[in-house]
Amino acid sequence: MAKLTAEQRIERCHIQLMKHPKFCLFSGLFMVGKVSVDDKVATAKTNGLSVAYGREFIESLNDKQLAFLILHENMHKAYRHLIVWKHLYKKNPTLANMACDYVINIQLHDYDPRYQDIEFPTDENGERMGLLDEKYRGMDSAQVFKILEKELGEGFGKGDGDGRNDGYQFDDHDWDGAEELSEEEVEASAKEIEDALRQGSILAGKMKGDVSPEIKELLTPKINWREALRDFVKSVMQGKDQTTWRRLHKRYIGMDIIMPSSYSEKVGSMVVAVDVSGSCISDLPEFLSEVKSICEEVSPECMHLLYWDSDVEKHEIYVGNEVANAVEVTRARGGGGTSPEVVPKYLVDGSISPECLVMFTDGYIDRQKPKDWESISPTPVLWCILGNKSFNNNLVQGKVIHVES
């Protein structure tokens, strides 16, 4: 029997994976972008849309290892790693590559922990190629990147040329190729990838296969946090509608009808309480810019800005036009633990009764005791959780939205 070429082996593996209950979810992804075999590619690489496999590397793999490699590359596509995390690549290519691989490989391990159908590629010494560490379970690439940066140092791996360290990853990530994609190509590929995963999830259901929680999250409609924040504040801070004959309604003047115009009295105060214990500070300017624009619409009498960790470290008050300058003049202070319950206590002790309270935190907190928050009832509370996708909404009382970092 003639030996199959690398191209034929890849095609055969695609078909086998499409028929497998565990992996049929990814069937449509195999059709997204181009698939090629390139003698110049050392192992495999993707720009997030197309995949190129190295001929020599393919020939060194058994069928299980090839299946693992194909799924690995297509999961980079599924999570759109090379688009979403390009800012990590610009900061440190090697750590960005490692972070993305850690996220993918633990999921592939979970799909087949006994390696009955897929297995990690191995080098010439039989050593596993690829990154796997249980401590990164449930994390996204940004969270893994921060840990790696802390443990290995910001300069780790820099100067390697392609950003890939042999012994750490077995594939290349074509960030430069992803950068060359036009906005139209990026948008079109995002829709194509999502459609492929949705069709794959339907097929998995028919074949009684599983769809991982991570993929289910990808397919869950996303809420625009800015719109959610705006809707929350405006819904609870509506001014009292009044009319005045001092300013006539412009719409009716042209019809020779004299009608009073309406206006809203200024509403009370709002409190924005910012977690300064960790990763939130870098996103504070963007967050406050959004709060500023909301304040311009609802015209609160004042905005209280609290910085908290294990205590309320700083309290700034902005009145009227001062709100517009809050982003430029505010100075965060903190760095301790993370105890959200200090906020309601501070409000009570300071006799501050806002019309709404917005909590901004990365969500790494303990369950909050209801009695800690009963003191400010019935003040509406909105929790803006930064980047922590695994946050349990049941830990807190009030509405929860997730802010994308």
What is the DSSP secondary-structure string of 150-183?
A: HHH-TTTTTTSSSS--BTTBSSEE-HHHHHTS-H
Whole-number pLDDT of residue 267: 64
Whole-number pLDDT of residue 161: 42
Residue 377 CA to residue 380 CA, distance in Å, equals: 8
pLDDT band at 301 (very low <50, low <70, confident <90, very high): confident
Using a pLDDT cut of 70, give the percent of the chain over it. 86
Whole-number pLDDT of residue 240: 46
Residue 228 CA to residue 224 CA, distance in Å, equals: 6
Chain centroid, CA 386 distance in Å? 9
- pLDDT mean across residues, the chain: 85
Whole-number pLDDT of residue 380: 93
Whole-number pLDDT of residue 322: 84
Whole-number pLDDT of residue 65: 97
Residue 228 CA to residue 400 CA, distance in Å, equals: 10
Laid out side by side, the sheet with 51-54 consists of 35-38, 51-54, 44-46, 172-173
Residue 160 pLDDT greater than 80, yes or no = no
Spell 187-197 as b/e; 16+ CB within 10 A means b: eebeebbeebb
Region 378-382: what's the mean pLDDT?
92
Look at 69-83, 239-253, 322-336 and tell me which has the smallest mean pLDDT: 239-253
Single-letter amino acid code for the residue at 202: I
Which of 218-222, 257-261, 268-272 shows the highest mean pLDDT? 268-272
Residue 53 CA to residue 45 CA, distance in Å, equals: 7
Classified by CATH at the fold level, domain 225-240+267-403 comes out as: Rossmann fold (3.40.50)
Residue 355 pLDDT greater than 80, yes or no = yes
Whole-number pLDDT of residue 263: 46
- Lookup: tokens for 309: 């960790």
Indicate the SS3 state at residue 388.
coil
Using a pLDDT cut of 90, give the percent of the chain over it. 47
Give burial (CB, 10 Å; 0-12/13-18/19+) of 168. Answer: middle
CATH 3.40.50.410 domain position(s) in the chain: 225-240+267-403
Helix axes 63-78, 93-111, angle to 10 degrees: 120
Single-letter amino acid code for the residue at 258: I
